[in-house]
Structure 1
């Protein structure tokens, strides 16, 4: 397998609120919610999803948790929990602080400590409205 991730899909409880957080709060570009013509059913997943095109040809998708579970054919417990973090790199410590403040103003919770680490980074974490953990990091010279 070639090590290339092209999409990351986050399970969300409220798609509209999550789109507002990522689009309006963090400024990520999106066409908005698409796939509404596929309503789904009790057993078939609906198509309603939002996608954000990121750098390096990576797509961040937001999909309602129950629909993601149906699409994957797994119990809902598979789409809960947050045993990972996503990293966002910025050029300076000041940019880390600015992005954390913008995320908090948009509804995120800044968690843990913010500052310089002994291994040569300055970083801080926020949890989006669904609890997905993001690290905002800058590598120090």
Structure 2
């Protein structure tokens, strides 16, 4: 089986609030919007934000579907880009979970939660090059 992820879908309580975080905070543009879902074309996969009641109904689960113990990551090209992006995301509805600092394994990172509590690691890793399409390659 091919090793890939096609889409990541996040349940959100308020789609407009979530849209502000992703569009104005990250600067991403939706490729599809309906009353209860928004899709963003990423580099190789889709990110969806779906009204949590609709997501729960689609999964045949009781609402709301809450985030679990995971984080998504957004790598940036330079160490100096980490904290300004964390601050920008906080200005558009995010909550800084951990300011930028250097972990023991190298690089530089911080964490921010989107308005629904989904954790994002904003990181710079000099061993993980980012190509012109935004693809990150695992390096050592």
Question: Shorter-normalised TM-score: what interval?
Answer: 0.7 to 0.9
Instruction: Tell me, yes or no, if the aligned pair for 2:20 and 2:93 is still in contact at 8 Å.
Output: no
User: Aligned pair count?
Assistant: 127
How far apart, CA to CA, are the structure 1 residues paired with 2:99 and 2:48? Answer: 28
The TM-score with structure 1 as length reference comes to 0.83
The TM-score with structure 2 as length reference comes to 0.83
Provide the alpha-carbon RMSD of the alignment: 1.5
Structure 1, unmatched stretches of 5+, are 37-47
Structure 2 residue 104 is the aligned partner of structure 1 residue 118: yes
In structure 1, the residue matched to 2:40 is 52
Structure 2, unmatched stretches of 5+, are 128-140
Instruction: Tell me, yes or no, if the aligned pair for 1:26 and 1:106 is still in contact at 8 Å.
Output: no
In structure 1, the residue matched to 2:48 is 61
Instruction: Tell me, yes or no, if the aligned pair for 1:82 and 1:131 is still in contact at 8 Å.
Output: no
Measure how far apart 1:32 and its partner are. Answer: 5.5
How far apart, CA to CA, are the structure 2 residues paired with 1:109 and 1:21? Answer: 11
Tell me which protein shows more helix as a share of its residues: 1
Question: Which runs of 4 or more aligned residues in structure 1 lie more than 2 Å from their structure 2 counterparts after TM superposition?
Answer: 31-34
Structure 2 residue 132 is the aligned partner of structure 1 residue 131: no
